[in-house]
Amino acid sequence: MSPALAKSAENLKNETEDYHKGVKYLHESGIQRVPKKYIFPISERPKNAINGKQQARKEHNLKLPIIDFAQIHGPNRAQVLDSLSYACENYGFFQLVNHGIPDEVIRSMVDVGGRFFDLPLVEREKYMTTDMTTPVRCGTSFNQTKDGVFCWRDFLKLVCDPLPDVLPHWPSSPSDFREKAVAYSKETKFLFLKLVEAILESLGITTKNKTQNNEMLKEFEDGSQLMAVNFYPPCPDPDLTLGMPPHSDYGFLTLLLQDEVEGLQVKCNGDWVTVQPIPGAFVVNVGDHLEIFSNGKYKSVLHRVLVNSLKSRISVASLHSLPFNSIVRPSPKLISETNPKRYKDTNFAAFLEYIKSCDSINKSFLETRKLT
Ligand code: OGA
Ligand code: NI
C-alpha cells in the first residue's frame, strides 16, 4: 500500500472508531464540517434548519394544544377531557402546563443530565454498549449498530423499573445523579398515571365500577418506564443532518422535557412544524401502544429533531407503557361491528425484535401491526 493510501485508510479507521464515541466528542474535537456518515439523503434533510434564519422558520412554528392540568380536578374537568381528546386525535401531541411537578425537580434533572454529558469520555464510556437489554446505556445516533446514516445525538437511557434492581446500575457520577434522576422518574411516573386516568376517561373506557377501573390503572402502575436523556451538541452543518430521524414512540405516552432551545418537529398535515418550548411544560405525545389500545382513535405521530450550529440542546424523554410482558391490544370497548379491530395484538418483545432488525430511517413498527 502506498503511504498516502495507508494514511487515508488509517484516517478512515480512526474516524469510524470516533463515531462510536458520539457527537459530543466530535464537536469537541473541533470538526468544521459534518463527516459523511451524518449526511442524510437530500429528501430526508431539514428544509429549514435552525441556524438563525428566523424568517424562514416563522410560519413553521406550531402551537400545540395546551392542556392545563390544574383544571382536571375542578369544575372544568369535562372541557379539559374534551381538549385532551381533541389533541390526541388530531395532533397526537399536546403541551402540559400546571402539571404539579415542582420546578426544582425539573431543573435539577436537566442540570444533572447536562453535567453527566460534561463528564470526560472515559467516564461515559463505561456505559457505552450496544446491548439493548442493560438497565443503563450510553450511545449515539438512533440505533448505532444498524443506522446507515448516523444522527447528531448522544443519549443516556435508564430503565426505571423495578427501581431497587436497576438503581445500583445507574451512573454514580455526578454524585447527585441518582438522587435527582430518581426524584424525576418518580414524579413523571405519578403524572403519567394521572394522565392515563384522564385518557381512559376521555376514551369512554372507564366505568362507574371503581374496582374495574382500579384494575386497569393497577396494570399501568406496574408498567414499564424508560428515561432517555438526549444531548445534541452544536453541529457545523445543521441543514445536512438530523438530531433524530422521523420516528414514533413505541410506548403508551411519552413525557418530554425540552430545554429552551428549539429542535423538536412534529409531522402535521404533511408538514414538519417546530414545537415552541414552553419553560417548565411537558410535551406529551401518544405512542404506538396507545394508538393500538385506542383502536386508532388517538394517533402516534411522527416527529424528528433538528440540530443547530450555535447551541447544545438537552431533552429528557420519559416513556411509559404497560408491563414488559403485557399484551397490547385494542380495547374491547372500542371495537364494534361498525368499528372493527384495526391492529394485531402486540408486546414489547415483538417491538424489540423489530427495531433490532431495521434501519431507523425506514422504521415504522406501527405499520407492521395494522390489520388491513
Ligand atoms: C425521543 C424524542 C425529542 C427531543 O426521545 O423519542 O422524540 O426533542 N425526543 O429530544
Ligand atoms: Ni420520540
From the CA of 258, the nearest ligand is: 1
For the segment 135-186, what is each residue's pLDDT rounded down to a tens digit? 999 999 988 878 889 999 999 999 999 999 999 999 999 999 999 999 999 9
pLDDT confidence of residue 86: 97
> Edge-to-edge strand order for the sheet containing 61-62?
61-62, 271-275, 264-268, 303-305, 244-247
Task: Please tell me the distance from the alpha carbon of residue 324 to that of residue 319, in angstroms, as a whole number.
Answer: 12
pLDDT confidence of residue 144: 80
**Does the beta carbon of 258 lie inside 6 Å of ligand 1?**
yes
Q: What mean pLDDT comes out for the span 341-357?
A: 80
From the CA of 153, the nearest ligand is: 1
Q: Output phi, psi for 371, to 5 deg.
A: -95, 130
pLDDT confidence of residue 133: 83
Range of the domain at 302: 14-369
Distance from Cα 187 to the centre of ligand 1, integer Å: 19
Task: Please tell me the distance from the alpha carbon of residue 266 to that of residue 274, in angstroms, as a whole number.
Answer: 7
Residue 60 has pLDDT above 70, yes or no: no
For the segment 10-59, what is each residue's pLDDT rounded down to a tens digit? 555 556 667 889 999 999 999 999 999 999 999 899 975 554 444 344 45
Q: Is residue 126 part of a domain?
A: yes
Residue with cell 466528542: 25
For the segment 273-284, what is each residue's pLDDT rounded down to a tens digit? 999 999 999 999
Distance from Cα 337 to the centre of ligand 1, integer Å: 37
Ordered alpha helix ranges (H), the chain? 3-19, 23-28, 54-58, 77-90, 103-118, 121-125, 163-166, 177-202, 210-221, 288-293, 348-357, 365-369
Q: What mean pLDDT comes out for the span 66-83?
A: 94
From 249, 255, 256, select the one nearest 291 (Cα to Cα): 249
CA 365 to centroid of chain Cα atoms: 15
Q: Which atom of ligand 1 is nearest to the CA of 263?
A: 8
Cis status of the peptide bond prior to 174, with omega within 30 of 0: yes
pLDDT confidence of residue 55: 38
| Of the candidate ranges 144-148, 234-238, 308-312, 350-354, the one whose mean pLDDT is the lowest | 350-354
Q: Are strands 282-286 and 253-258 parallel, antiparallel or unpaired?
A: antiparallel
Q: Is residue 25 part of a domain?
A: yes
pLDDT confidence of residue 56: 46
| Of the candidate ranges 34-43, 89-98, 360-369, the one whose mean pLDDT is the lowest | 360-369
pLDDT confidence of residue 54: 40
Q: Is residue 364 part of a domain?
A: yes
* CATH code of the domain containing 310: 2.60.120.330
**Does the beta carbon of 96 lie inside 6 Å of ligand 1?**
no
pLDDT confidence of residue 206: 83
Q: What mean pLDDT comes out for the span 208-236?
A: 91
Residue 353 has pLDDT above 80, yes or no: no
Residue 232 has pLDDT above 80, yes or no: yes
Distance from Cα 305 to the centre of ligand 1, integer Å: 7
Q: Is residue 229 part of a domain?
A: yes
**Does the beta carbon of 263 lie inside 6 Å of ligand 1?**
yes
* First CA to last CA distance, the chain: 56
Q: Is residue 112 part of a domain?
A: yes
**Does the beta carbon of 303 lie inside 6 Å of ligand 1?**
yes
From the CA of 317, the nearest ligand is: 1
Average pLDDT, the chain: 89
Quick one: pLDDT band at residue 213, thresholds 50, 70, 90? Answer: confident
Quick one: pLDDT band at residue 312, thresholds 50, 70, 90? Answer: very high
Residue 297 has pLDDT above 90, yes or no: yes
Q: Is residue 334 part of a domain?
A: yes
Q: What mean pLDDT comes out for the span 123-135?
A: 89
Task: Please tell me the distance from the alpha carbon of residue 37 to that of residue 31, in angstroms, as a whole number.
Answer: 13
**Does the beta carbon of 265 lie inside 6 Å of ligand 1?**
no
Grid cell digits, residue 35: 463527516
The pTM score is 0.91
Please give the tally of structural domains in the chain: 1
pLDDT confidence of residue 154: 97
Q: Which residues, in sequence order, are CB contacts of 253 under 8 Å at separation 6+?
A: 192, 195, 196, 199, 284, 285, 286, 287, 290, 319, 320
Distance from Cα 156 to the centre of ligand 2, integer Å: 14
Task: Please tell me the distance from the alpha carbon of residue 148 to that of residue 37, in angstroms, as a whole number.
Answer: 8
pLDDT confidence of residue 366: 82
Task: Please tell me the distance from the alpha carbon of residue 67 to that of residue 276, in angstroms, as a whole number.
Answer: 15
From the CA of 256, the nearest ligand is: 1
For the CA atoms of 308, 244, 19, 353, the dihedral, rounded to the nearest 10 degrees, stands at 180
Distance from Cα 256 to the centre of ligand 2, integer Å: 8
Q: Is residue 139 part of a domain?
A: yes
Task: Please tell me the distance from the alpha carbon of residue 314 to that of residue 345, in angstroms, as a whole number.
Answer: 35
Cis status of the peptide bond prior to 164, with omega within 30 of 0: no
Q: Which atom of ligand 1 is nearest to the CA of 264?
A: 8
Q: Is residue 80 part of a domain?
A: yes
Distance from Cα 216 to the centre of ligand 1, integer Å: 28
